[in-house]
Structure 1
Amino acid sequence: MKFLFTCGGTAGHINPAVGVAQRLRLLMPDCEILFIGAAGHMETELVPREGFDIKTVDITNISREISLEGLKHNAKTVRNVFKSTAEAKTILKQFRPDVVIGTGGYVCYPVLKAAHSMRIPTVVHESNAVPGLTTRMLSGAADKILVGFEESRQYYKNPEKVIVTGTPVREDFRNYDKASARQKLGIDPEKPLVVSVWGSLGAAFMNKTMVGFIDKALGNPFFGLIHSAGKGGYKTMLEEMGRDGVKTAEQNGMEIREYIYDMPLIMAAADLVMCRSGASTLSEL
């Protein structure tokens, strides 16, 4: 069988698709898997890291800003929807999937719409309890809607399509225990590890808070720390800490990362995880 996944924008949309793709590969070693993402976005980095091929379409998001710039942006998005739908149809004709699965992000809209128009079976997975804009717009075109919570049924016009599955996680979350994870990371088994992660894109307020937190913790560094500043906030956080501050933190077992690529390993090793309550992160925990 051939499976095509579409997802993008944040790791919360990407990782559930990767988790399902990994499980399919284990269950059906001969299956073919392809991803479609938005050009220039996070999925074009994360998906190949997990060993899957990805193709891209040119699509932009919808601006919620009520301004001239917002209107111009949305006019461009409308044009891009037609363009990206045509691009998606070309990829679908070439790959000829048996099913198309979308797990969130605005790139799902043109891909699933294209698949629906070509009478290819379509599935949408929504991790959040309340569906996002893209999922709501696609609910009519999707053959099945997979959700993380039983309470989510009420938000869909066609509840008979809805199946409660929970939120998929990547296979590596099943592969580590605390002792082996800490050994692999070279962490002192007697020193607690705190992990701080506030979404794949980061959170400016929490990064600023963590700068102060690290500064105070260095007065009595009895624990280690791995903080993910996110793609949008890493450089700013390093600038706020200064070169000497970063060096001192690292010397005391406190590490600042742009993104935690080995999250299954890091979470397994952690004694405390500080995070925002995103659906994917909570499922991974």
Structure 2
Amino acid sequence: MKFIFTCGGTAGHINPALALAGRLRELLPDCRILFIGAEGKMEMELVPREGFEILPIKITNLSRGRSLEDISHNLQTLKNVLLSTREARKIIREFEPDAVIGTGGYVCYPVLKAASELYIPTLVHESNAVPGLTTRMLSKKVDLVMVGLEESLSAYPKARRVELTGTPVRGKFSCYTRDSAKAELGLPPDMPLVLSVWGSLGAGRMNAVMGEFISLMGPQRDFRLIHAAGGRYYGPLTDRLRAAGVDWTANGADVRDYIYDMPRVMAAADLILCRAGASTLSELTYMGKPVFLVPSPNVTNNHQEKNARVLERAGGALVLKEEELDAAGLLDTVREHLASPGKLEGMSRAMASLAVPEATDKICGMIIDLAHRAGA
């Protein structure tokens, strides 16, 4: 069998596709898998790292602004949609997939549109409580819409079929215990580790907060921190710390541009500080990790806060507003929780209770079934 995956823009869209592709490769060792991504975007780097081929198409996003620049950008985007749909159609005809699967990002639209017009089985997965524009537009065209959260089941009134599946998580997230992961990272098992990650691209405001947080940690090294700044923020952040005379390594901080070994680092962490994208939350619940969530204020329909409140109501997360956050208060709250193992254990149990560990296998089963039925 042959499958095409399309996803892009952020790791939150890419990782679910990688989880599904990896599992399909295990279930069907002779299957062929191809990815289609947006030219120059993150997927063009991350997908080959996992051993999959990816081909680019030229596609741009829609701007929500109303300036002349935004209007000009959107006119170009509409032109790119037409051109990229032709590109996708050519790739699909040559590859002849049994099914085409999208997991989010604007690159999904031309690819799934082209596949649908060629009468190839199509599926799209939406992780978030509030569907994105691309998923809403595709819901009328694809054979199956799969959702990660029950709250979004009713968001697709014109879809042919909608199924609650949970969000797929890569198998690598089951490869580590906390102690084994800490050992590989060179940390003693009793040293608390805090992971700080603010989306795969980073976030300017949160890097400012975490820069001050690192400065305030001081040399007591009562816990260790791994902070992912994001590619465009890493240089400015480390430059600011150096200019302020802060030796972040001496303070127990490891500052990175991107965390390529996320399953290992997340497994090692005792507490995680992050955004509330649905893919990340699925990984956190899968691993039962206590978390402080700071939803991004820059997302459509405030969907990250809606995602975060689901975990907060269950008792697994503390939700903090970005505009109200200050480094000293965050550091105090982190230390307070690290000093209360019972509180962290309770949060961990609450997170684990929300996990859908069978999501990856369930979705792979749906993909294979739809492909078989179409070919029967």
* TM, length-normalised to structure 1: 0.97
Give the superposition deviation at 1:160: 5.5
User: Which residue does 1:270 correspond to in 2?
Assistant: 269
Gaps of 5+ in 1: none
CA-atom RMSD, angstroms? Answer: 1.3
Check whether the contact 2:12–2:277 (CA below 8 A) recurs between aligned residues: yes
1:233 counterpart SS class: helix
Q: Work out the number of aligned pairs and report it.
A: 284
Matched, 1:28 2:28: yes
Aligned positions of 1:22-101 closer than 5 A: 22-101=22-101
One-letter identity of the residue aligned with 1:157: P
| Distance verdict in 2 for CA 1:13–1:194, change over 3 Å | same
Q: Which moved more, 1:19-28 or 1:152-161?
A: 152-161
User: Which residue does 1:149 correspond to in 2?
Assistant: 149
Give the superposition deviation at 1:143: 0.2
2:225 counterpart SS class: strand
Q: In 1, Cα distance between the equivalents of 2:75 and 2:89?
A: 22
User: Which residue does 1:198 correspond to in 2?
Assistant: 198
1:183 counterpart SS class: helix
2:227 counterpart SS class: strand
Check whether the contact 2:112–2:122 (CA below 8 A) recurs between aligned residues: yes
Matched, 1:249 2:248: yes
User: Which residue does 2:216 correspond to in 1?
Assistant: 216
Following TM superposition, where does structure 1 have runs of at least 4 consecutive aligned residues deviating by more than 3 angstroms?
243-246
Check whether the contact 2:7–2:103 (CA below 8 A) recurs between aligned residues: yes
Aligned positions of 1:102-251 closer than 5 A: 102-158=102-158, 161-242=161-242, 245=245, 248-251=247-250
User: Which residue does 2:295 correspond to in 1?
Assistant: none
Check whether the contact 1:153–1:159 (CA below 8 A) recurs between aligned residues: no
Q: In 1, Cα distance between the equivalents of 2:251 and 2:234?
A: 19
Check whether the contact 2:37–2:107 (CA below 8 A) recurs between aligned residues: yes
User: Which residue does 1:17 correspond to in 2?
Assistant: 17
Q: In 2, Cα distance between the equivalents of 1:20 and 1:228?
A: 25
Q: In 1, Cα distance between the equivalents of 2:75 and 2:146?
A: 31
| Distance verdict in 2 for CA 1:50–1:182, change over 3 Å | same
Check whether the contact 2:140–2:160 (CA below 8 A) recurs between aligned residues: no
Give the superposition deviation at 1:241: 1.4
Check whether the contact 2:104–2:135 (CA below 8 A) recurs between aligned residues: yes
| Distance verdict in 2 for CA 1:262–1:51, change over 3 Å | same
Q: Deviations over 1:241-284 (max 9, x none)?
A: 126756x2123431111111111000110111111111011110
1:129 counterpart SS class: coil
1:251 counterpart SS class: coil
User: Which residue does 2:349 correspond to in 1?
Assistant: none
Q: In 1, Cα distance between the equivalents of 2:159 and 2:70?
A: 34
| Distance verdict in 2 for CA 1:203–1:193, change over 3 Å | same
One-letter identity of the residue aligned with 2:103: T
Give the superposition deviation at 1:236: 2.0
Q: Which moved more, 1:145-154 or 1:31-40?
A: 145-154
Q: Deviations over 1:181-235 (max 9, x none)?
A: 1111111223211100111111111100001101010243211110011133222
1:189 counterpart SS class: coil
1:140 counterpart SS class: coil
Give the superposition deviation at 1:128: 0.4
One-letter identity of the residue aligned with 2:116: H
Give the superposition deviation at 1:149: 1.2
Q: In 1, Cα distance between the equivalents of 2:235 and 2:279?
A: 25
1:232 counterpart SS class: helix
One-letter identity of the residue aligned with 2:266: M
One-letter identity of the residue aligned with 1:82: L
2:100 counterpart SS class: strand
| Distance verdict in 2 for CA 1:117–1:245, change over 3 Å | farther
Q: Deviations over 1:25-66 (max 9, x none)?
A: 111111111100000000000000111110010000000111
Check whether the contact 2:5–2:34 (CA below 8 A) recurs between aligned residues: yes
Give the superposition deviation at 1:119: 0.5
Q: In 1, Cα distance between the equivalents of 2:206 and 2:245?
A: 17
